[in-house]
Chain A
Amino acid sequence: MSYQIKLDMFEGPLDLLLHLIRERQLDILDIPIATITEEYLRYLAMMQELDLEVAGEFLVMAATLIHIKSKMLLPPEELAAGEEGEPEEDPRAELVDRLLEYQRFKEAAQTLGHLESEQLLLYRRGAPAIDLEVEGPLAVSLFELLRAFREVLRRAEAPAQLEITPEELNVGQRIVTLLDRLAQESPLEFAQLFAGSRRRAEVIVTFLALLELLRRRLASARQAEPMGPIMIYRTVERVGPSGPEAAGSGQPGPPAPHQTGTTEE
């Protein structure tokens, strides 16, 4: 029995492409399609290796990339055949348009997120105090996690074949172990989670356990800057000073309210 992590709340293929473009600092309007295809397929293979539930859309995008790549290899005359005078269309144009449009809404979503944070600080009657329906807190994207994970894997002992043996390594147990560790120390740097795991299979089980913790909102992953170190926080029901916005002094709670001088009755 393999342990499958549901990814439906995570990102889609366009997110992965934008992630790769950012990671490699590529020009979105002039994407080196061979490089990006190779990288994309590498992430896809990693997700499949981990037995993450890879949505069909990821495979469709892979096919699209390969198709574009093959079109790019054709000499331009053949592309332009039949349309004289017309400038040849870049085979990437449609994909670029999709990426740009998606990026627009991603940024609009970010703006909405900021507004939401502001509004959530304004309490009012009739508003639910908590809503457990909301999905997991993943301030860093899945692909950032995968990137960091790849680094850890690289350092782990590398056998010829990747094999998960669920008999001795159990994701459920690892979840409990991780929670215990986070209870003792939070936040933990991503790489620290894997300290002591030398075997590849162990590293993988730990990573799957982490994904499950994030999905169940028992932990959250945050990052101060893009490509920076990823910190794993234990999610606590009680509000403590551990939140990112309370990252000042270790003093729990708000500063003392100051007295206003008005003493008129």
Chain B
Amino acid sequence: MGETLDRQAVIEAVLFVAEEPVPLAKLQEILGDEEPAATEASVRALALDLEGPTRGLMVQEVAGGFRLATRGEAAPWIQKLQQVKPAKLSRAALETLAIIAYKQPITRAEIEAIRGVAVDGVMRTLLERGLVRMLGRKAEAGRPILYGTTGEFLEHFGFKDLGDLPTLREIDELIGAQKPAGSPPPAERPADASGTDPEAPPADASPEPGPPSATV
């Protein structure tokens, strides 16, 4: 039957069943396409079809794959069905997550140096929710654990990849504008962060500003 079904319909059905974003390569394999471009064209065509006024779903490109999600405008009706609003992360959790996202790989002590407060409870929550994971250990005394964000993090905030993170540059510029020219560079830090280069990009993924992207 698969041969007679429209390619877009196949993609729609697959995305409906999948509980995780489906990578393009997987879709290509399912469709048996020679070129990923052919698969991608069909995904985009499906996304375009779903933009019609009679549709409640959309294709969302997130965490390195595609998924079906309900349209934002449908939320009030869905909440009538579920009676429950999804809970948001606490301010402390968001702050900790922001530090990890932009500075990964990062140790707990480095996070605490920035927040100025212990993060044990918050880290436990983030680890349990799968938003943060251990990346390895840092080559320094005590071999502290290095943390980074997960695919679940990308999904939670609707990012395609870490390049999707909003850039800190605007915030920097905002602050830099207030800063007098002769102020000391932030490199003059106390010794507790010694041996680390907090500005170094993460090893496996770069949170450098990329083109902003939303849904397909």
Contact = CB atoms under 8 A, between A and B. Distances in A.
> Chain A: interface secondary structure?
loop
B143 interface: no
Given A14-B115, A109-B98, A134-B87, A122 B60 contact: yes
Interface in B68-115: 68-72, 74-80, 82-95, 97-99, 101-102, 114-115
B68 A124 contact: yes
Contact of A102 (B70, B102, B115): B115
A191 interface: no
A106 interface: yes
Given A112-B98, A260-B54, A119 B117 contact: no
A236 B2 CA distance: 47
Given A8-B118, A119-B157, A94 B94 contact: no
Given A89-B184, A129-B82, A134 B89 contact: yes
A35 B33 CA distance: 69
B182 interface: yes
Contacts of A243: 85
Interface in A8-57: 8-14, 28-29, 55, 57
A111 B159 CA distance: 13
A72 B24 CA distance: 61
B116 A97 contact: no
Interface in B163-180: 166, 168, 171-172, 175, 178-180
Contact of A134 (B88, B157, B179): B88
Interface string A178-197: 00000000000000000000
A76 to B, nearest CB: 15
B188 A11 contact: no
Interface residues of A, number: 67
A102 B74 CA distance: 37
Nearest to B62: A119
Contacts of A120: 85-86, 88
Contacts of B70: 122-124
A116 to B, nearest CB: 6
Interface string B7-49: 0000000001111100000000000000000000000000000
Contacts of A97: 184, 186, 188-189
Interface residues of B, number: 70
B204 interface: no
Contacts of A168: none
A105 B166 CA distance: 12
A199 interface: no
A126 B122 CA distance: 24
Nearest to A138: B91
A66 to B, nearest CB: 17
A65 B53 CA distance: 59
B51 to A, nearest CB: 13
Contact of B92 (A93, A104, A135, A239): A135
Contacts of A113: 88-89, 91, 94
Contacts of A135: 89-90, 92-93, 122, 125
Interface string A45-89: 000000000010100010000000000000000000000000101
A105 B156 contact: no
A60 to B, nearest CB: 9
Contact of B67 (A10, A101, A124): A124
B90 A257 contact: no
Contacts of B79: 239
Nearest to B117: A12
A136 B118 contact: no
A1 interface: no
Nearest to B78: A123
B166 to A, nearest CB: 5
Contacts of B85: 120, 130, 239, 243
B6 interface: no
Contacts of B20: 126
A118 B73 CA distance: 10
Contacts of B72: 118, 121-122
A238 to B, nearest CB: 5
12 contacts: A11-B117, A14-B117, A97-B186, A97-B188, A104-B168, A104-B171, A107-B171, A109-B97, A113-B94, A116-B88, A117-B88, A260-B54
